[in-house]
Amino acid sequence: MSEVETADKAWGRDEVRRAVRLAARTLLAEKGLSFSMRELAANAGVNLGLIHKHLGNKDDVVRAVLARSHERSAAIVGGVDSLPEAVRALFMVGVADPEYVRIVAWLNLHGRSDLIPNEDMDALGAITGSSHTTVDDRVRHMAVLSAISGWSLFGSGILQSAEVAESEREFYEARVADLLASIVNGENTSPVDAGPE
């Protein structure tokens, strides 16, 4: 190995962890779990043995990626006082971090929801499983959660096919968040707004 090649490699514990998390996040969003640890090491620019030493196996790497993403999401969602506010916040988390939603979707497709942080599952359960909800409430809640996930995966394509200009994207995303909040709140309609000119 040349000096240039070794100089480009991350060797310290924190450097290795950071490089691996970033590379794994990209691979997970693109491929789900369909990547090898050697591919991860190459993409991260680290020695495979250092991944095992500082992070562990592939499951441990996935957990490290999701834990980091969860911290950012929890900061956004934390402190909301109502279910509609929680829905708006969750929608905006998906808008701000669609890679995270893609990773969670891939894990579900691979049958590995066990790798998703319990706190995220608890948040979903809090929305869908309150003991004071009717079947209709739960159906609305599940539909809203599906829409949030779906928007994170397909929102860009939907906006493009609806010929929404990039300059209007934030407006339409805020309107979708409001509509989802009104649905989870049991309202039949959302506020009417003329929209951008």
- 28 and 76 share a domain? no
What is the 8-class DSSP label of residue 131? T
Confidence grade of residue 123 (pLDDT, cut at 50, 70, 90): low
Per-residue pLDDT at 16: 93
- 50 and 75 share a domain? no
pLDDT tens, residue by residue, 102-113: 898 899 889 998
Distance of alpha carbon 9 from alpha carbon 111, whole angstroms: 33
| Vertex 152 angle, CA 146 and 156, to 5° | 125
Place of tokens 């999401």: 73
- 29 and 113 share a domain? no
Residue ranges of E strands in the chain: none
Per-residue pLDDT at 124: 52
Per-residue pLDDT at 80: 74
- Which domain range does residue 155 map to? 67-197
**CB-count burial class (<10 Å; 0-12, 13-18, 19+) for 6:** exposed
User: Taking the CA atoms of the chain, what radius of gyration do you get in angstroms?
Assistant: 20
Confidence grade of residue 4 (pLDDT, cut at 50, 70, 90): very low
- 125 and 46 share a domain? no
- 127 and 88 share a domain? yes
Last residue of one domain, picked from the residues 31, 56, 81: 56
Per-residue pLDDT at 54: 93
CATH number of the domain that 28 lies in?
A: 1.10.10
Q: Is residue 61 part of a domain?
A: no
**Number of compact structural domains in the chain:** 2
- 148 and 195 share a domain? yes
Q: Is residue 62 part of a domain?
A: no
Q: Is residue 125 part of a domain?
A: yes
CB 90 within 8 A of CB 148: yes
pLDDT > 50? residue 189: no
